[in-house]
Amino acid sequence: MGAGAGAAVAAAVALANAVKASGMVVKVEPGDFMTILKRCDEPLVVIGRGGMFKKHFQYLTSYKGLGFFTKSDTALVLPPRVETIVAAKSISFPDI
C-alpha cells in the first residue's frame, strides 16, 4: 500500500470513528446522498457491501459534523472529485 492509500485509509478510519463517537448518523435516500456530496468541498465516501440474501452497496460520508448513510441495490455513480475508500467489508449501525 502506497503513502496515498495509507492516508486515505487513515482518513476513512477517522471518519468512521468520528461518526461512531458522535452517534449521529442520518439515513437518507441515494438521491439525497448525492445532493449532500454536491455540497461538500472535498467529499470522502466510504463504500461497503452488505446484505445476506440480497446484496447492496452502502455509502457513508460526513457533512457539517453529521454522518450520512445510504444504501442502494445498484452502485451509485459518484462525481469524479469524490475521494472513495472501498476497503470496508460492510457498514453497519444499530437501528438504521
pLDDT score of 66:
85
Domains in the chain and their CATH numbers? 3-85 (3.30.720.90)
Give the other-Cβ count within 10 Å of 26's Cβ: 14
pLDDT score of 39:
93
Q: pTM of whole model > 0.85?
A: no
Tens of pLDDT along the chain (96 residues)? 555 556 666 666 666 665 555 567 889 999 999 999 999 989 999 998 887 888 889 999 999 888 899 999 999 999 999 999 886 666 666 655
pLDDT score of 94:
60
Give the rounded distance of the alpha carbon of 69 from its chain centre: 6
Distance CA 55, CA 33 (A): 19
Distance CA 50, CA 36 (A): 22
φ and ψ of 66, to 5 deg: -110, 150
